[in-house]
Amino acid sequence: MNQQADKLRSYAQDNVVFLLQRLMEDILSQQPKNVIDWSIAWLDKKGRDIVKSRQRPNAQSSSSDEEVIELPKRPAAARKQRASISAEAYGQYNRKESFQPRVIVKSQQQKEIISKRLSQSFMFASLDSREKDIVIDAMEERSYNVDDWVIKQGDNGDNLYVVDQGELNCFKRFTKDGENKFLKVYYPGESFGELALLYNAPRAASIQSKTNSVLFALDRQTFNHIVKDAAMKKREKYVNVLKQIELLSMMDPYERSHVADAIKSASFQKGEYVIREGEQGDIFYMIEEGNLIATKTLVQGQDPVKVFQYKEGDYFGELALLKDIPRQANIVAETEVKLIYLDRHSFKRMLGPLEDILRRNTDKYQKYEQYWITQGK
């Protein structure tokens, strides 16, 4: 029986797992609306090419070259149940079975430290107090030295990590044989490693300790039963919103997913001020729904005039954060609006690679301001 199971595992590894991994990576990258139809088309075209590329050039079609593995027959009652392609080789890790949370003994001080870090991590924002206690009990403290690799891209993953002390660099290869590209730095209170657990996929990036670091590791089982559903729901909602923001459409899906984790939301009624000219600004806004206008005092002593119009998919508030200056205009809701936003720290940390584009785009405000001045408004 063990020999047969080994053969099945070997067969799945050689003929199924690699294909499912590539399919999963492309699904996460493209995020098609109709996953089933898209996957069928993918398997018929790209899937065939991938399989062909793995075959040996001198492979023979003779049945004597390969051992035929006969799958064990299921009981009659079981045959009526829906079969799962990945039940044995790939998907077993994320099945919700009977759950007995692990408890790792900790001091009260350790629990308080973990609780503080969880409150800083967006991944755990939706947990109630009972769920948070289960997560705290299950977490394991791990220490890493400078240059230690915590996770490596392509490996299987069984833990999510929350940073308690130190800094860690994140790298990603965008082609199979490409070089590691630096993406970002992880700081205390941030989490990583959740993609492998959320989507049952290989590690999407590599994380290396930049300094001596202390992390808290959460196991797959606890994550699946306590954190996963709420985290996936929030992430998927905001990833879809972010894809509509032109500025962020060029971001790698891995980076975009982390922006989605950091996002908060706010709603405003028609006529309400989101930003007031002259105030200090610490928030970068993106528009999920609705329309807003920017008004500005162009002549001292006169009423502010409209200088810009915002719609769904636009963003504002970046000037104060990029140039460290007071707000340069009022932003007023023209309709009921839903906004998503990042605070100053998250903006600098996550949108750093886009800073040059943001700075170039600030010219649009000067052009509109000059237009209204010439119109005598």
Is 289 flagged in the annotation as binding? no
Is 318 flagged in the annotation as binding? yes
- Other C-beta atoms within 10 Å of 153: how many? 16
**In angstroms, rounded to a whole number, what is the distance separating the alpha carbons of residues 190 and 125?**
12
Is 203 flagged in the annotation as binding? yes
**In angstroms, rounded to a whole number, what is the distance separating the alpha carbons of residues 286 and 263?**
10
Q: How far apart are the first and last CA of the chain?
A: 84
Which residue bears the tokens 């409150």?
Answer: 119
Q: What six digits make up the tokens of 318?
A: 């970046």
**Would you say 207 and 169 are in contact if contact means Cβ atoms under 8 Å apart?**
yes
**In angstroms, rounded to a whole number, what is the distance separating the alpha carbons of residues 274 and 317?**
10
Is 194 flagged in the annotation as binding? yes
- Among 310, 102, 44, 51, residue whose Cα is nearest residue 222: 102
Q: What six digits make up the tokens of 240?
A: 């879809």
Q: What six digits make up the tokens of 257?
A: 């997913």
**Would you say 13 and 86 are in contact if contact means Cβ atoms under 8 Å apart?**
no
**Which residues does the annotation place in the binding site?**
194, 203, 318, 327
**Binding site feature residues for 3',5'-cyclic AMP:** 194, 203, 318, 327
